[in-house]
Structure formats: structure tokens, C-alpha cells
Structure 1
Amino acid sequence: MTDLTARAETLRGLHSGEMLVLPNVWDAASAEVVAEAGFPAIATASAAVSAMLGFPDGEGAPWQEMFAAAGRVAHAVSVPVTVDAEAGYGLAPREFVDRLLETGAVGCNLEDTDHRGGGLVDADEHAQRLADIRAAAADAGVQIVVNARVDAFLGDAGIPEPDRLAETIRRGRLYRDAGADCVYPIGVRGKEDLAALVIELACPVNGNTGGDLDLATLRELGVARVSYGPRFYRAALADFKSAIEKL
């Protein structure tokens, strides 16, 4: 556990100071490419991992297979690994933490989409789950780094567009106060919205590039962490398809 504790603290420290850029990976080979390029941490993307395994995103793959893939990633590199664990697969907090640590990872994304009922889960209930996971991690002896994803800006979340910013702030504050190390308002494309979130949440915020939001702009806004989801996996697959078609 000593090595995992050190890796967790390293990953947590990367959320302050210079902006942490995480090109998401899907297997051991892609993780090695990112680590060898000099990135200080590795993040998986659930959409890419599940696709690689032959399942749809949104907890379509068995959690055992997702965590097995995460374990292969973690054992391929010497830097900290954070896992896109979707909504936590319905695992009880202590079991979730134990299974995550067994992979060798020390961080996770946890989203508030309800993959069974649709829309978003109740914010207070999700905040309590995050608090329980934080307590379970403390009991396990490794304070994993929790990136709490807020899905209010996603089209299928059921939140009217005029209400998305306020709802994201409300949820983000609840998750932050429950012990999340970083809040991830996925789907935010407006510079003004993201700037407001950085200010209002007053904690590390995970952003994405796209549109007017390039890395320089995200850094200027005070974003602490940048991730890419399945973007690089899809680009690699597109290149492969193009090469095969030419062949």
C-alpha cells in the first residue's frame, strides 16, 4: 500500500500548479506511448476501453473486464493511473475502492448519469456515495483521487439548457464538499460557462478542448486538468480504417 499511497499523493499534487494534461488511453500499449512521451500520469477512457472490449459505453461492459483492462494499463507504466470508472458499476463503496486499488490505479472518474433509469441520479444521494467512497478509501489506507463528473451539460441528461450552468454549480459544490478532489463538468463548450465554473466551484476543475477552448485558453481560465475521452482511440481507429481501405 505504501507505493499506492505515494502514487495517490503524486496524482493529487498534479492538480495544483501547472495544468495537468491527460491524453486518455485504452490499453497497455497506448498507456506506454503516453508515459514514454513524458506525461506525469495516465487516464483511461471508459468509452474507448469498452469499445476495445467489444461493449457499448455507459456501463455496457462487465466491471470485471473494465477493471482487468485498467490493471493491465497500471502495470504497464510507472506513473500514477486514474480510471474512468463510469458510475461505479453499482459496487458498494468499500468493494469499489478495494477493486480499484487491486488494479494498481490510484484515481477514478465517477459520473452522475443514471445508466439504468436515465437522466441524472439524485445529487444528494450521489454526494453521499462520494463521501462513502472517500471514507472507504481512508479506511483502506490509500486516499484515492476522485474526479467527480457532472453530466448536466450532456444532451441526454434532461436538464434544460438555460438551467445547466446553475445545476452544474449546485452539483459540483455538493460533490466537492463530499470529498471530490476535482470536479469534471463534461460537455461544457462555452468559455464564459467554464470560467464561471472555475470561480464558483473554487476547486480543481477538469476541462476539455474543443471549439474556442484550446489548451492555452483552458490554462488562462484556471482549469486544473484536461482530458480527451475516447478522442485518440477514435483517431487511431480511423487511421487504421483508412490504411486498411487503401490496402
Structure 2
Amino acid sequence: MDSDQRTRAQAFVDLHREGCFLLPNAWDAGSARILESVGFPAIATTSAGVAFSFGRPDHDFFAEHGEHGRVDRPTMMRRIHEITGAVRVPVSADLEEGYGPDAQEVATTISLAIDAGAAGGNIEDFTGDRATPLFDEVHAVDRVRAARAAVAAAGEPFVLVGRTDALLVDAGLDEAIRRANAYLAAGADCAFVPGAADAATIATLVDALDGPLNVVMGLTGGGLSMTELADLGVRRVTVGGSIARLLYRHLLDAATELSEHGTFTYGDTQLTQTALNAHFADRT
């Protein structure tokens, strides 16, 4: 990590000390530059968006996608490096479950993400196996502890996020709270509980957790605003793959119009070449 990246990484650490901020998710250098251009102080990656950009399914129950379905770790690290090199703001990396069940694999993934310029990253407890969707809690804690050790060994500023998918697999709010607190105690700087999207659930989490909370919004549209989330005590908000899915919605609509109607009205709302060139102009 060079000195500029280190400065950005420390700024990212500082963002987590107080208040509430939005961390939108990019999937390539172009989307990252667009998000940066409107003034966000930091961005995250989305493993879903990256997977879609390669024509692959998101990991989900990835054991069912076949050997070549999932984006592998080297490919993901190259994409993370492309994104961190394209922007001047800190980047937090979606590292899924750490690309392996073993704690040492998680540690290696964290080290690779830091080498790729990431200022933070999340490790989740989702196994990808429908029969046992969450890692055993003791093992999940060991994985977070190994991630923390890798951060310490690197000696760089880095926000480690412990993510539990307990709500997504219907394990219940009590288990989500217990796991999130266990990950915080094991060294996570922030807890992430996807599936918490209503005020009552989020308020319960904020009150029960021993550290800052990340929630993901935008997956089903509408819902709570940033002002409301800040009032609830949320520290940071991500949007997952929702922006990427929106763009693919527009792509599918345009393709359908061309195929079924032979018309070109989709072009009426496109960004101009000049506008995009301005966003992507060399800033050196």
C-alpha cells in the first residue's frame, strides 16, 4: 500500500468513528469513477456486480452453480485492484466468505485485499451450502480472528467487517445479534447484518450490538432514508448489487425493445458521449 492509499485507508477508518455515511457499491473501474464523481467519501465493491460483469451468477448457493460458476479469488482481486487504482477515495472490498472455509484462507484473502489497495473488507459466515448455510459459530469466530490477525500483520489501516447472514437464511434475529457481537469481540470493526431493512429490526440491532452497524438498502426499493437510518443509529449504509442490477434492467429493456419492436427510444435518456468522457477523463 503506497502513501496515498494509506492516507485514504486511514480516512476510511475515521469515517467509522461517528455519524452515518453511505458507501455505494461499484463493480468495475467505470462504475467506481461515476460514484466517486458525485462526491461519496468512499465506495465499496459488490461481488454480485463483479460476477454479473463476467457473465457469472452471484455466489449465492454457489455449490449449485457448478465448477465454473463462481468468480474465483484471483479474478476478484484483479478487479478490486482495478477499482482501487481508478479512484482517489477509499475502497472497501466485498470478500464474500473469504474464498475458503479455513481460517487461513480467510487470512490470505485479507492480505491479498490489502495488497490490492483495499481500505476495508467484509468476511461473511455464509457457506454457500444449502444444507448448512452458516458456518458453525465457533469456527466463524475463528475466521474473523484470523482476518484480524492478517490486518495486524499487514500494519495498514483497514476496516474489518464481520457479516452474518443469519437473517437471510431465517436463523432469526437473536442468532444474528449473537453472531454479530461475537465477530465484533473477535476483532471486527463493524458488524453487517443484511436482511435488516425495517426500523424496528434495525433499532433492535443498534441497541444490542457492541459496535457500529452496517445495513444494506436499495435491494427492494424505497424503505428508510439516510436521515431515518442515521436517526436509528446506523453507522454506515451500503447498497449491494442494486445499482448493477438496475443497469442490467435497463440493458434488458433496451435489448427487448430492439428485438421485439425494432425501435430505439431507449436512447432518449442515455448519457452523452461528452458527459461520459468528462467523467472518465485522465486526471493526472
Indicate the residue corresponding to 1:203 in structure 2: 211
**1:21 equivalent in alignment to 2:22:** yes
Alignment of 1:1-247 (within 5 A): 1=1, 3=3, 4-58=5-59, 60-90=70-100, 92-116=105-129, 118-154=132-168, 157=169, 159=171, 164-209=172-217, 212-244=223-255, 245=257, 246-247=263-264
Does the aligned pair in 1 maintain the 2:167–2:195 contact within 8 Å? yes
Q: CA RMSD in A?
A: 1.7
Mapped partners of 2:136, 2:58: distance in 1:
21
Mapped partners of 2:34, 2:237: distance in 1:
18
Q: Please give the secondary structure, in 2, of the residue aligned with 1:92.
A: helix
- TM-score w.r.t. structure 2 length? 0.80
What is the number of equivalent residue pairs in this alignment?
241
Does the aligned pair in 1 maintain the 2:77–2:116 contact within 8 Å? yes
Moved more, 91-100 or 111-120: 91-100
**Larger Rg belongs to:** 2
Give the unaligned 5+ runs of structure 2: 63-69, 258-262, 265-284
User: Can you list the C-alpha shifts for 1:202-229, whole angstroms capped at 9, x where unaligned?
Assistant: 3110113355422221111010000001
Mapped partners of 2:159, 2:197: distance in 1:
25
Mapped partners of 1:33, 1:212: distance in 2:
24
Moved more, 108-117 or 68-77: 108-117
Cα distance, 1:2 vs structure 2: 5.3
Q: Which has the higher contact order (CA 8 A, sep 6+)?
A: 1
Does the aligned pair in 2 maintain the 1:42–1:82 contact within 8 Å? yes
Give the unaligned 5+ runs of structure 1: none
Letter in 2 for 1:225: R
Identity of aligned residues (%): 37
Moved more, 196-205 or 85-94: 85-94
- TM-score w.r.t. structure 1 length? 0.91
Cα distance, 1:148 vs structure 2: 1.3
